[in-house]
Amino acid sequence: MMNGPNLRALTTADFEESMKLSSFAFQYPLTAEQLEERRSSFLTDDVYQVGVFQHEQLCAQATLLHLNVYVNGELFSMGGIAGVSTWPEHRRHGYVARILKELLVKMKENGQSISMLHPFSFSFYRKYGWETYIEYKQYEMSADHLSSLRNKLSGKHLGTVKRVEDWQLLQTTYDRYAKRYNGMLQRGDKWWKESITKRKPGTYAGAYNDQGELDGYMIYEVANRIMTIHEFITLTAAAQQRLMLYIAQHDSMIDRLRWTAPSDDCFAYGLDNPRIKQELIPYFMARIVDVEPFIAQYPFEPSDQEEIFTLQISDEHAPWNNGHFELRIASSGKATLTKVELASPQVIISIGALTSWLLNYQKWQVLKHVEQLEGSEQAMKRLQLRIREHTTYLTDFF
């Protein structure tokens, strides 16, 4: 009798097979030097890797990262799922579903109340409770726009821009910026060294105000007469103008400029000719892993009174989130969520739609329109007033 597939954590002995599968699935060859570099970070305290094996041969795998993410200005422990891959002959056997269910249990044990991932297919991960939580705005403009922008800004006293050699000088500015958005990562030294400096090559330019404070920066590179901005981080309108003037000084060496911004960015509105290419691109998905501790940490909008809502949450793959709940939000914005027995809840919603709502990616009207939300419109309106207006954004990838 043949043994069935076995799910277990990867060990150092699985390194070569794991790299072969990753290299094949994501279509990138690894040099000997890159392999050795990855070997040293294959299994660390902040990484958990799991796979499905048939006769001790790796069939499918995924990586769980221990990260922290900002939601309403607060840091939440987040499980980042990456490297989900399966050999073609083992696809459509439910192996990834088994892995995701295993990772949900693991994240709950870790105290990671929210999870995020970059999907190969949005519809695939929706089946397991993840939902779109972010789209970013991608700009593209010509050098002609840069010339007019330079003329517009050159007479203003905006401070200075200097090239920066040390990424550590950017950390404080990044942190202040990240807290403004839902879904931005908290970056430690390791993340800067291993992710930012390697994935975002080029020049660092810092924007300094008259007090000598760094209130903005950009990471960019120029190749084939195209400037690509990997990060454009500003704390003030003056810092944005300062960096745009710096960009405009490149007009003789570039034909086009490309960069990304939060979905609510209004840069084009300030241009003399706002007819530049703008595209909204769905990016990452998120999912509440453990709804009760998530709500306990989640800061709602303060009010003049305590409010109570009754919810029916559906979550097929994390049964601890499935059922009827009482949501009690204090006037301070502190809340609790408790499982209760209910006959008729005010709000009926899936875990994915609830994630999208609480991260402020979609409001109740949209969720109701696409039939992801049912119940009392009065209760939906009252709950919407307690959800803070923070735009979702992410400048990282994993």
Residue 293 confidence (pLDDT) = 98
Residue 77 confidence (pLDDT) = 98
Three-state secondary structure call for residue 244: helix
**Across 28-42, 63-77, 118-132, 229-243, least confident range:** 28-42
2 has a pLDDT exceeding 80? no
Of the pLDDT bands very low, low, confident and very high (cuts 50, 70, 90), residue 270 is: confident
- pLDDT tens-digit map of 12-59: 999 999 999 999 999 988 888 888 888 877 888 889 999 999 998 999
| C-alpha closest to that of 192 among 173, 216, 211 | 173
C-alpha separations of 61 from 16, 57, 171 in Å: 13, 11, 33
C-alpha separations of 105 from 6, 111, 132, 206, 295 in Å: 17, 10, 21, 43, 18
Residue 36 confidence (pLDDT) = 86
For the chain, list the domains and their CATH numbers.
Answer: 6-112 (3.40.630.30), 136-282 (3.40.630.30), 286-385 (3.30.1050.10)
3 has a pLDDT exceeding 70? no
Hey, how many other C-beta atoms are within 10 angstroms of the C-beta on 68? 14
Distance separating alpha carbons of residues 105 and 84, to the nearest angstrom: 17
* Beta-strand pair 57-71/307-314: unpaired
Residue 43 confidence (pLDDT) = 80
State what percent of residues in the chain have pLDDT above 70.
Answer: 99
* Beta-strand pair 114-117/74-86: parallel
Residue 303 confidence (pLDDT) = 97
Q: Check if the beta carbon of residue 48 is closer than 8 Å to that of residue 18.
A: no
Residue 388 confidence (pLDDT) = 97
1 has a pLDDT exceeding 60? no
Looking at every residue in the chain, the average pLDDT score rounds to 95
Section 257-278 average pLDDT: 94
Residue 154 confidence (pLDDT) = 82
120 has a pLDDT exceeding 60? yes
| C-alpha closest to that of 349 among 333, 328, 327, 330 | 327
C-alpha separations of 318 from 92, 284, 304 in Å: 21, 20, 34
- pLDDT tens-digit map of 134-168: 999 999 999 888 888 888 888 777 789 999 999 99
Section 371-396 average pLDDT: 98
Section 302-324 average pLDDT: 97
Section 73-94 average pLDDT: 97
